[in-house]
A and B are shown apart, each in its own frame.
Chain A
Amino acid sequence: MTIPFLSVRDLTVDFDTEDGVVHAVDGLSFDVEKGTTLGIVGESGSGKSVTNLAVLGLHDPAYTKISGEIVLDGRELTTAPRRELERLRGNKVAMIFQDPLTSLSPYHSVGRQISETYRRHTGASRGEARGRAVEMLRRVGIPHPVSRVDDYPHQFSGGMRQRVMIAMALVCDPDLLIADEPTTALDVTVQAQILDLLKELQEQTGTAIILITHDLGVVANAAQEVLVMYAGRAVERGTVREVLGTPRHPYTWGLLSSMPRLRSSVDVPLVPVRGTPPSLIHVPPGCPFHPRCDYQAQAGPDLCVGDRPELSPHRGHGDACYLTPAHKREIFADQIKERL
């Protein structure tokens, strides 16, 4: 068995706040292989972004407690010293954020923002780094990169800005790219372009990508593996075909039923997941999804409010739900499939 490129084991992230301890991530495990894309899906506050900021060590250590293991290419990151993390960020692990307008510095030209990352990690000269910046802008499809390299972010359109962001993230050929909702702030037509660009660049460089999104359509398009998160935990994991084709967890069913589809008839109503996401300070006992779940009774009396269900099996298509596999197949076939 090979060691995965990025391996996260039993990751727990707690924040100290005035209202109490927020359990943002609670016992999360997943792997990402080189050259593949893992989509992490879940609603706001499910811990998607927190997990990935933890991989980069971007939380304020004064208010954050991180435990578990994050092993990247054989290196343990949770205990790594700050300087080592600084050398890793932007170099081996890069990140793209949701809103390219606020995420790029308004005070520096795009060329400078790209080249300073390159110089920081390679020690290249100003001239070399500038050349590299132009090359990167060309690779991400910015027209006339030579004349645009000295422009500022506000002089670009939203889609172009996100391309700049991608150029900046990829300038050091990172082994892992974390894209946190990279298309959420963009027009639909531009979304597809950005996803295609990421795919194309991944084919060229073999970068592993973690794609964080709440949009299952994006996942279907761009990822091979999916991890569905709820209240800081993984509730379902598998390949895109498995999770989107034969979903097993009631929360995944809910997500899929609430998503509009082009091919389905207009008569099929969208079904939102009822209730609201749980408080992460007082997480419900047992399965955190049980207050919103319609299938508790079928799982067995008091099973869902007792112990927390574990993700099983450990490899392949897994889910954290007490329903028996037969039940899951039956419910999906009888009630869920028609809504999709």
Chain B
Amino acid sequence: MSRFLLRRLLGAAVILMIISAVTFFLFFAVPRDPARFACGKICPPETLELVRHNMGIDEPVFLQYWHWLIGIFAGRDFTYGRCDAPCLGYSFVNQQPIFDAIVDRFPTTLSLTIGAAVVFLLFGIGMGMIAAARQGRPADKIASSASLIGASMQIYFVGVLATWVLVDQLQLFERPAYHELTADPVKWFSGLLIPWLVLSIIFTANYTRMTRSSMVEQLSEDYVRTARAKGMPSRTVFLRFAWRGAMGPIITIFGVDLGALLGGAIITEQTFVLHGIGELSIKAVVNQDLPMLLGVVLVAATAIVLFNIVVDAAYAFIDPRVRLS
């Protein structure tokens, strides 16, 4: 297990380096000048040079990447002052340390992700199980068509509609907003309830369909028939045998989804004006803010890579045929 972890973490580090390098070079592959963008409309050449130097983009791209990489482990000196490790640089736009900006935004994204994941796992897997158990019967048809409708929903539309109906008209829910969990757990919960529900609609639909098809497949397996042939009650056959086999593909997708959500639920954050990682990434792109862009890319990539490792470890736990080595 520890050898597996060590090997996979090393691999993850390599992947993250490749991703950050690609981001770096792609940024400069497009002819652009972040310095001119930051300097403003009226910008004398001397000032532009100075801005360039302050940003660190007057150096060759390779060297820039090298400085950026070293900065993560050893810290870095800027014209504005010292940036301690782990240093992801300063924002081109407002000179805020990138690391602080991400740490500041991450709780919002994490809260959004965890809440939504709980909702879509619970409802998605639950509905998928019921549909599989009632194959071809009304419950299955209702679940299947509901998931088809759910999968074609648009977050911004449903989000605005839900807020208007549930908050403005019926006044059943709190207006969506982020409050810190540690400060006020009740407000944290009620403020995020609508974003959670709306964000999880599409996921719930997908997990319902995935769970159903995975369970249907397992239920026709020989070993499930054996379980029934040896007199296991149908509940046991369903949960302890079929579900055990059906879990694999669902966990794989869940790992990817969780990673992607932690990289920022851009549309959901925009719809409910939540200040998470997703909002940071939009600003980074719009403002040609390279250090910020690298920062959010790194967060998203790290989340996906780490959850991949977790998924692989979980696989070995579920299926004894899989070996971690």
Contacts and interface: CB of A to CB of B under 8 A. Distances in A.
Given A87-B231, A116-B232, A120-B231, A105 B318 contact: no
A56 B225 CA distance: 11
Contact of B229 (A58, A82, A102, A106): A58
26 contacts: A56-B229, A62-B136, A82-B234, A86-B231, A86-B232, A87-B231, A88-B231, A90-B231, A91-B231, A95-B226, A95-B230, A97-B222, A97-B226, A99-B222, A103-B223, A104-B223, A104-B226, A105-B226, A105-B244, A106-B319, A106-B320, A107-B318, A117-B230, A120-B231, A154-B320, A168-B230
A89 B237 CA distance: 13
Interface string B137-173: 1000000000000000000000000000000000000
B291 to A, nearest CB: 47
B138 to A, nearest CB: 13
A94 interface: yes
Nearest to A87: B231
A152 interface: yes
B228 A94 contact: no
By secondary structure, the B interface counts as: helix
B321 A154 contact: yes
Contacts of A169: 230
Interface in B233-256: 233-234, 241, 244-245
A121 interface: yes
A121 B231 contact: yes
Contacts of A168: 230
Interface string A67-97: 0000000000000001000111111001101
A90 B233 CA distance: 11
Contacts of B260: none
A335 B227 CA distance: 48
Contacts of A97: 222, 225-226, 229
A138 B167 CA distance: 69
B221 A102 contact: yes
Interface in A100-121: 102-107, 109, 116-117, 120-121
B230 A107 contact: no
Contacts of B228: 58, 89
Interface of B: 136-137, 221-223, 225-234, 241, 244-245, 318-321
Interface in A149-198: 152, 154, 168-169
A94 B229 CA distance: 7
B233 A86 contact: yes
Given A97-B225, A102-B223, A117 B244 contact: no
A89 B230 contact: yes
A90 B223 contact: no
Given A90-B229, A102-B223, 4 more contacts: A89-B230, A103-B223, A107-B241, A154-B320
Contacts of B234: 82, 86
Nearest to B135: A62
Nearest to A116: B232
Interface string A25-68: 00000000000000000000000000000001010001000000
Contacts of B241: 105, 107
Contacts of B136: 62
Nearest to B247: A107
Nearest to A98: B222
